[in-house]
Structure 1
Amino acid sequence: MKKIALLLLPVALLSACSGANEPRYLISAPPGERTANLRSRTIEVRQVSLPAYAAGSDIVVQGEGGALFTQDRAQWADDPARGMTSALARGLSERTGASVAAEPWPLNTGPDVRLDVRVDQAYARADGNFELSGQYAVSSPEGTVREFVRRFNIVTPIAGTGAPATADALGRALAELSRQISQAM
């Protein structure tokens, strides 16, 4: 029995050390000013589509050679796609006054508008900026608004160092994306 306990002790110590103290950061955007009164009263935000490196739980940064690395062993507190989807839904609700929800749509009557965001780039660049780029599409199942697809390229400065500054820069980038989408609608 003692031999088994001695053999399991290193495994227990390793599992206790692996990830127990890794910091986790929320994906949230600062509130924004109301920018639009929309014809749409309801908006469904589809799950944000992310590239593989940004869909993982690790916060990634670009190194001097252009490669992406995990930053300070830090992780997102939530699934990045879900976190970004929720932040966009909150931002659009604050800015437009519409009823906004992430998919699946929770009401019996369908939404006036569906928003589909596909991210191409989402990382802390080596030059001290955070890049969030891709495209978004606004569709209208009932034809109540004009449908369109637009590209976005948002670069926000990273004020400070480490994962907290990176998380803050992503939040500001998502707030800007919410502003751009609400103005385009």
Structure 2
Amino acid sequence: MLKALTLMAPLALLAACGPSNEARYLISAAPGEKVANLRSRTIEVRLVSLPSYAAASEIVAEGDGGALFALGGAQWADDPARGMTAALARGLNQRTGAAAAMEPWPLNTGPDVRLDVRVDQAYARADGVFALTGQFAVSSPEGTVREFVKPFDILAPVNGTGPAAAADALSRALAELARQVSQAM
């Protein structure tokens, strides 16, 4: 009997590690219009800095009374900081035509500019709006462009309820952030 239990224990552990039923949502940036007259040909996008609740794998939304709650059984498909960084890099590539890549910079020649984004808030509010606020800084290792720090306060409507609506609103908010960054450069 003891031998049978010893053999069954690893099987029980394997079953517990099986596939999760939690839904996973991608972080992306919606496409946008191209920006002309960009002075930078290459952009390194540093890892986006997020508050702890936004850096967690669970998708959160504001509930009654202002508390943030995980949306039941829904997670981001990627690490949120990495996912937002990749979405911004793709958005800047599409909007500017510049070669934008996540850190670490993959080419031998350094980038013209570095983008550092620090998010203060990123969540679906109870009033049906997704808030994405913080600041972005553009630095120029070689001094080819003017360096600056600029705040952003983006509100995107959440069309519907649940994690899919929150993910879609984040996508539109990141697209707006890519637009603001590209216009500021």
TM-score, with normalisation over the residues of structure 1? 0.93
Q: Which residue of 1 aligns with 2:73?
A: 73
Residue in structure 2 matched with residue 64 of structure 1 by the alignment: 64
Q: Find the aligned partners of 1:30 and 1:124 in 2 and give their Cα distance.
A: 17
CA distance in 1, matches of 2:8, 2:108: 59
Could you say what secondary structure the match of 2:54 adopts? helix
Aligned to 1:53: 53
- Counterpart CA distance in 2 for 1:61 and 1:139 is 33
Q: Is the 1:62–1:123 Cα contact (8 Å) retained in structure 2?
A: yes
Alignment of 1:1-185 (within 5 A): 1-4=3-6, 15-16=17-18, 20-185=20-185
Q: SS at the partner of 1:132? A: strand
* Aligned positions, number: 183
After TM superposition, the runs of 4+ consecutive aligned structure 1 residues lying more than 2 A away are: 1-16
In structure 1, the gaps of 5 or more residues are none
Counterpart Cα distance in 2 of 1:129 and 1:177: 16
TM-score in terms of structure 2 length: 0.93
Report the Cα offset of residue 38 of structure 1: 1.0
Q: Deviations over 1:138-163 (max 9, x none)?
A: 00111111110000000111001111
1:36-83 deviations in Å (ceiling 9; x for gaps): 321111000000000001001000111111111100220000000000
CA distance in 2, matches of 1:159, 1:176: 16
What is the rounded CA distance, in whole Å, between the counterparts of 1:2 and 1:55 in structure 2?
43
The one-letter amino acid of 1:42's match is: T
Structure 2 unaligned residues grouped into runs of 5+ = none
Q: What RMSD in Å do the two structures reach over aligned CA positions? A: 1.6
Q: Which amino acid in structure 1 is aligned with residue 130 of structure 2?
A: F
Which SS does the other structure have where 2:66 is aligned?
coil
Specify the code of the residue in structure 2 equivalent to 1:119.
V
